Structure 1
């Protein structure tokens, strides 16, 4: 139980850091006239898969049992981090400058 509590606290702290960094990056590189649409699409994708995850988790729990389903969850969570670890994002130090349109060409 102690290990679960420590892991949950670490996950929560990292989730906050990731959310702040991701939102800052999106706001920095997205043109102002598209920012609402980009944020809406991002949130729709992120929160839209929650019911699918609940359905898959419930199915795994009822078919395989709780312990194997939780191990699959652990492996899936850790494997999701591999994308960031193996990508060029890890080596990025500077946020790219946003490209702003010249003039009043907002449509």
Structure 2
């Protein structure tokens, strides 16, 4: 898959992983693992990029004596997910066109 397309899809997957409740890096990887393969080393640059784009916010909380970063989706992040749903309709149509069977008369 083209890198730019995969990057965009991973961004949306990360936002979807924190859509329902705040989460932290390891848990996000774990939650996504049955749908898409992503490593923590791939995840953290995505989280920073999404934070810079104001699609999520970060808060730090203590957990078992250590500080842990929790990620929270913003209204702009929710808007991005809604926009992806619309984009997906178009992508699905393109996929159906590309994978259609030729009709022989």
Larger Rg: 1
* TM-score where L is the length of structure 1: 0.30
Quick check: which one's strand share is greater? 2
Quick check: which one's helix share is greater? 1
